[in-house]
């Protein structure tokens, strides 16, 4: 089953000098909503596109984060 690689995404958030709060603001959603969506793997396609834009993710980064074969929980 494909899952979101939360640890890799968190690393990219930090690398871009952001927090989950900042990312959720950019997406226009509450931080708790973002956390639930990430944990459940139920991000909307527009959210994935916006995250890629905000974090300047390459195609390879996006694939490794959003099409991961392992599951990682948010801390």
The superfamily (CATH) of domain 6-66 is lambda repressor-like DNA-binding domains (1.10.260.40)
Q: 0.75 cut: is pTM over it? A: yes
Supply the pLDDT for residue 71. Answer: 46
Supply the pLDDT for residue 49. Answer: 95
Q: Is the dihedral of CA 50, 12, 16, 23 positive or negative?
A: positive
Tens of pLDDT, residue by residue, the chain (75 residues)? 568 999 999 999 999 999 999 999 999 999 999 999 988 888 889 999 999 999 999 999 999 999 877 544 554
* 3-state SS class at 3: strand
Supply the pLDDT for residue 73. Answer: 52
């Amino acid at each position: 089953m494909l899952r979101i690689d939360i640890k890799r995404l968190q690393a990219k958030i930090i690398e871009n000098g952001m927090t989950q709060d900042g990312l959720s603001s950019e997406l226009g959603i509450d931080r708790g909503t973002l956390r639930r969506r990430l944990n459940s793997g139920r991000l909307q396609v527009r959210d994935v596109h916006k995250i890629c834009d905000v974090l300047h993710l390459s195609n390879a980064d996006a694939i490794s984060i959003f099409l991961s074969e392992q599951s990682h929980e948010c801390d």
